[in-house]
Structure 1
């Protein structure tokens, strides 16, 4: 298989995986609390990343990490998977999937603001156009979905979904700053090693009841197809491709495919404001990424 073809195949596997997880979140939350779901998912992802290091024969690189790098990953693991996914899963627990997913997807807009504030990267004037388009989509979904579909949209659920976008943007910014200093597979393993350890300690105080097989299996699915497998395949796609822009553009299919699964499997009636709002979010992100000179 040619590199360009295999890159597209790998990217499609990642996109298809991410497209199913919003539905998987809601199914898992019928059996588990958001903390229990994250505990199972994080353990599953840690096993996947450990197997990846074994396959790639990179365990020696773990032993070569400096004390400073261990400290860095101890902090990073607190942000992702712990803080980010606890907030995200609670948002899904409170909101319809068709609302939580698009709002979380607006994180690139939040990233622009963070880079301007903390990395001193000024926002080009034209990028404000894309930002306002995307934010308009967020507002339309937040306000219009409840009115059009007659759904209960709690304000604190919307705030949690917005907070999840902020946390992911923070994680991306911090991780991207240090990505050249650590192998990508090692970084994922170490983050989830610390994250899982924090969650296991937290489980002692919170108390968990993992006594349903559907709950455990759905939590494992989330760990495999949200946190583990798609990151591996997307990384492979970016490594194989000669056209990174194409691979990135394929990711924009994910939220729209996700609405299909939400409607077909969860039975949520997707209202027109969700489609329009999601389209605006994606249009704003693509406008800033591809049409505005960096």
Structure 2
């Protein structure tokens, strides 16, 4: 049933929760290794998604889907959440939160680039302008406002943050072709990823984490970044009569995220981060408008 008021409230709730993710990542990584955080968050998210499906009476649908195409779900799970979040969290471990989270928002621009070889699409002048703006913003942020120097806070961290956008764009292109229910697919990915994340954590990640603030932050990430918030967002989109109005709420997230980073983590927001974000966001808007006109 369409309900714009409900859609708006759900959409704003999802955006608010996503805006806290960068802060939660850094709080968790202050005490946990990347693989410890990844393991805990994936298991928490998988449990929450299974609980949601059980409440909806759809657990059998999940098992049927997993039995029908297990290798496809396993392959997708290796892309996301395993590889995507492993790379992204490693970037957060090396970079200030404000840099990692802002660079990560260029995934939509990476998606436009990938559409050339993968989908055979031709990009218009507006698309190329969007790409130029986005990556100019990345250079400004990564060099803290001195782009000609090409001296980065962490070159490896910047490369990882950009690589995460590539993994996410590939995952998005592949998942867009699926005819499965999004909630079923999401739950299947996390269920498949959970045992693999545990093996990585026990084998090379430092073992299971001890109780503490880091563990609590990891639980928060699992609930409100990886799984549950996606359900809020997808429900909001389904409830809206105008999907673009709800979809545009996502542009509030990077700005709200900087507020949480400054207030909770105590990072001093560098002017270059604001300037870079002012380049990246218009680039994303241009790219989305161009995509909607093409469709």
- Distance apart, 1:209 and its partner CA: 4.2
- Distance apart, 1:65 and its partner CA: 2.3
Name the residue aligned to 2:254. Answer: 255
* Unaligned ranges ≥5, structure 2: none
Name the residue aligned to 1:204. Answer: 202
Once residues 145 and 214 of structure 1 are traced to their aligned partners in structure 2, the CA distance between those partners, rounded to angstroms, is 34
Name the residue aligned to 1:133. Answer: 133
Aligned residues between the structures = 289
Instruction: Give SS of 2:20's match.
Output: helix
Cα distance change, pair 32–38 in 1 and its aligned pair in 2 (3 A): same
Name the residue aligned to 2:143. Answer: 143
Name the residue aligned to 1:173. Answer: 173
- Distance apart, 1:144 and its partner CA: 2.4
- Distance apart, 1:67 and its partner CA: 4.8
Q: CA RMSD in A?
A: 1.8
Instruction: Give SS of 1:128's match.
Output: helix
Q: Given that residues 25 and 89 in structure 2 are in contact (C-alpha distance below 8 angstroms), is that contact kept between their aligned partners in structure 1?
A: yes
* Unaligned ranges ≥5, structure 1: none
- What is the CA deviation profile of residues 55-105 of structure 1, one whole-angstrom value per residue up to 9, with x for unaligned ones? 221122123226552111000010111101011001000000010011111
Structure 1 counterpart of 2:192, from 191, 194, 201? 194
Name the residue aligned to 1:213. Answer: 212
TM-score under structure 1 length normalisation: 0.94
Question: Which portions of structure 1, spanning 4 or more consecutive aligned residues, are displaced by more than 6 angstroms?
Answer: none
Once residues 40 and 268 of structure 2 are traced to their aligned partners in structure 1, the CA distance between those partners, rounded to angstroms, is 29
1:231 and 2:218 equivalent?
no
Instruction: Give SS of 1:212's match.
Output: coil
Name the residue aligned to 2:5. Answer: 5
Cα distance change, pair 263–145 in 1 and its aligned pair in 2 (3 A): farther
- Distance apart, 1:2 and its partner CA: 7.3
Once residues 24 and 30 of structure 2 are traced to their aligned partners in structure 1, the CA distance between those partners, rounded to angstroms, is 10
